[in-house]
């Protein structure tokens, strides 16, 4: 598992490392970190912008999370989890993806509330810590429920 990763890295084979379809769990997680990063940047920047307009941080957190979810879904399909889906399959897949994300959103909101309201942390720090925790939740739930080998 790690051997393949380091071989690709050593060769500088970024196409196989980041783009070509793979069933290698470590490569998928490695890619998911990049996907999660892009989703997080979308989510984090929107959270700050919306909150600074006067909207409560938990409300803006939900809105920004949904934007990050859309980025995450598109990039996950493109770069992380291979497999083509069409029509009803795609609708079912997105529904499960969204359910996992909504549960992740609930966890994010709970963690942000605890960190901000109970521990007194700045809401943007709370968001960053919550995002790291929820990254693992999202990856493993998607891997187990959506994209496991049949």
Q: What is the pLDDT of residue 85?
A: 67
* pLDDT of 98 above 80: yes
* pLDDT of 5 above 70: yes
- Report pLDDT digits (tens) over 99-124: 998 899 899 999 999 999 999 999 99
Q: Quick one: which of 22, 71, 23, 20 has its CA closest to 45?
A: 71
Give the pTM.
0.73
Q: What is the pLDDT of residue 29?
A: 86
Q: What is the pLDDT of residue 81?
A: 77
CA of 141: how far to CAs of 56, 88, 116, in Å? 29, 21, 26
Q: What's the mean per-residue pLDDT of the chain?
A: 87
Neighbours of 72 (CB within 10 A): 26
Q: What is the pLDDT of residue 150?
A: 58
Q: What is the pLDDT of residue 69?
A: 85
């Amino acid at each position: 598992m790690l051997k393949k990763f380091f071989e690709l890295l050593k060769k500088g084979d970024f196409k196989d490392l980041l783009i070509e379809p793979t069933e290698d769990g470590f490569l998928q997680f490695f890619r998911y970190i990049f996907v999660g990063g892009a989703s997080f940047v979308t989510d984090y920047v929107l959270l700050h912008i919306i909150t600074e307009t006067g909207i409560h941080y938990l409300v803006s957190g939900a809105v920004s999370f949904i934007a990050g979810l859309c980025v995450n879904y598109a990039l996950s399909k493109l770069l992380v989890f291979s497999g083509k889906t069409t029509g009803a399959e795609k609708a079912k897949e997105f529904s499960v993806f969204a359910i996992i994300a909504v549960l992740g959103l609930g966890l994010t909101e709970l963690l942000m509330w605890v960190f901000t309201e109970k521990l007194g942390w700045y809401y943007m720090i709370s968001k960053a810590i919550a995002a790291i925790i929820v990254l693992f939740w999202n990856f493993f739930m998607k891997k187990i429920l959506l994209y496991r080998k049949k």
